Amino acid sequence: MTIDRRRALALFGLGGVGAAGQAMAASPKGLHAGPATFEHGVASGDPLQDRVILWTRVTAPGAKASVGVRWDVATDAAFKTIVKQGRATADAARDHTVKVDVVGLKPATDYFYRFRQTVNGKPTGKPITGRTRTLPVGPTKDAVLAVVSCALYPAGYFNAYDAIARLPRVDAVLHLGDYIYEYGAAADDYGMASPTAKTRLPDPPREILSLADYRRRHAQYKTDPALQAAHARAPWIVVWDDHETADNSWIGGAENHQPGSGPKGEGDWATRKAAALKAYYEWMPIREVAPGALPEAAWRRFQFGDVATLMMTETRLTARTHQLDYGRDLAGKDGKPDVAAFRARLNDPTHRMMGEGQEQWLAREIDASVKGGVAWQVLGNQVVMARVASPDLKATMGPEAYGAMLTKLPDYVAKAVEQGRSLSALDVPGNLDAWDGYPADRARVYDIFKAGKARPIVLAGDSHAFWANELWDDAGTSRVAAEFGVTSVTSPGYSDYLPGAPISAAYVARNKEVKFTDQGAKGFLLLTLEHGRATGELIAVSTILAPTYDTRVLKRFVVTPGDGGGVKALAEA
């Protein structure tokens, strides 16, 4: 069908949108008495069987006092049957965001919620509303999850979010990271070559570094009507990847962070990371970490009755060691590739992605899920887990067509394509920032799967491409899991740089574990989990360059579980 996203807000009663702070019991005395609006929408998240996080932000220009907010939860859209209500305050300490952890709800139930300003203790002004849902308990027929990743604001319209807002059913939305990007608005900044960039300039128009910067970027994203509609449609379960802090982040820094105070310095990494995480917790519908816990430790479990255990992992900021680099780690003393030395560094067991604490947590959760008779163990994970070597486009296209393509490409793209061919010939991983760059850690995760006799489905973001992969153990004798990689909402994929080139076919031809990939489509994954089968629908939007678009199911794959754990098959349906 053809969809005009301008209707998105009307579907869920989104009249205004705005700014707010940490929820608490509040006295009306001394609160702002002037008008306030909700210009940044509403959101819900981290649903459990009896509770859910509700979020909004209050905007009250010129207000010197905190703003009072009333929230209501009802079982009907007209709010005739209100089951929970309370007060909160929006203040500057949390950038006027409000986050409420509503408890005492019924499982597997749709709820409607709203926020209103209070003046002198009484609700006033136009409310802003949303819809959410709690998780089921016990025997459960199925669960339907929409999965998204990588939304670059200047690169295009967020049509995938709009399409999710219009789904007839979605129990939860999983965002696997790169909810925002940190880049600026210079002509050569990432995404600024898009035809939509002139009307979607990043705010602030520079790379974000400070707490105020990260807050402004989150605020800009949440003014987008498609994103607002998707947040108002269902609860979100989120985790950051790298761009919520900086590109290719790891525990001690990031590729896009130059420490120091000189002309090109970007300050202290720990300070920047702390600012990014504070803004993230303020602006996202994620439950606050336990007192005394590190904010980086965002791994957590969600139980969808007996049909699925969802384990959201964190692979960026708690334990990840510095990524290897082809230039630094592959070149030998004579300048030629030293593959043996490179592989030794790559396979070093101290080269970590996840860390011991999180691995132990994962093993406990897998064991409990399987012993509890749960059908699927789902890993919400940031980066692709399959073994993926760089494709050899010359072999796929033939020398003549390949050479003609190179002559038409910008120099930096042609150079990257040739480097990929060289890496493919050396049989080394094509992406050192993905699990391929941390094979010892991946093997430990596979050992956890196998020891627990799990039936795992791995979900991955980051790559700006759709993937349907079979994950095999190191020996190549056991299929341990299936993987669905979700493409980006707007961020460019390889096909955007190589229009017309058969890069997706080249990936499949080169890699045993890759059963399907599309390196150009934009959209989302719709995952339906049932006893005995899991269906992944790769849903593409027809364009991100206009707000009117079509959707289509690009491919549909069915995963069937193995009898004693693992996956029996991943097949196109």
Residue 27 lies in domain = 1-134
Q: How confident is the model at residue 21 (pLDDT cuts 50, 70, 90)?
A: very low
Q: Does 67 reside within a domain?
A: yes
Residue 11 maps to which CATH number? 2.60.40.380
Has residue 465 got a pLDDT over 70?
yes
- Taking the CA atoms of residue 72, residue 77, residue 79 and residue 80 in that order, the dihedral angle to the nearest 10 degrees is -150
Q: Which two tokens stand for residue 332?
A: 């030998």
101-146 pLDDT, tens digit each: 999 999 999 999 999 999 988 999 999 999 999 999 999 999 999 9
Backbone angles phi, psi at 524, to 5 degrees: -155, 170
Which pLDDT does position 204 carry in this prediction? 98
367-379 pLDDT, tens digit each: 999 999 999 999 9
Backbone angles phi, psi at 275, to 5 degrees: -65, -45
Has residue 244 got a pLDDT over 60?
yes
Torsion sign (Cα): 243, 162, 50, 41: positive
> In the chain, how many domains are there?
1
Q: What CA–CA distance (Å, rounded) separates 119 from 179?
A: 34
Q: What CA–CA distance (Å, rounded) separates 166 from 8?
A: 8
What global pTM score does this model have?
0.94
Q: Whose CA is closest to 181, among 172, 194, 170, 171?
A: 194
* CA 55-56-58 angle, 5° bins: 150
Q: Give how far the C-alpha of residue 38 lies from the chain's centroid of Cα atoms, to the nearest Å.
A: 24
Contact 492, 506 (CB under 8 A): no
Q: Does 15 reside within a domain?
A: yes
Which pLDDT does position 292 carry in this prediction? 86
Has residue 18 got a pLDDT over 70?
no
Has residue 264 got a pLDDT over 70?
yes
Q: Does 105 reside within a domain?
A: yes
Q: Does 534 reside within a domain?
A: no
Residue reference for tokens 């391929």: 436
Q: Does 376 reside within a domain?
A: no
360-417 pLDDT, tens digit each: 999 999 999 999 999 999 999 999 999 999 999 999 999 999 999 999 999 999 999 9
Which pLDDT does position 28 carry in this prediction? 54
Torsion sign (Cα): 377, 380, 383, 384: positive
Q: What CA–CA distance (Å, rounded) separates 150 from 334?
A: 39
Q: Which two tokens stand for residue 206?
A: 């520079």
Q: How confident is the model at residue 63 (pLDDT cuts 50, 70, 90)?
A: confident
Helices 399-408 & 411-426, crossing angle to 10 degrees?
A: 140
Count the residues in the chain.
Answer: 573
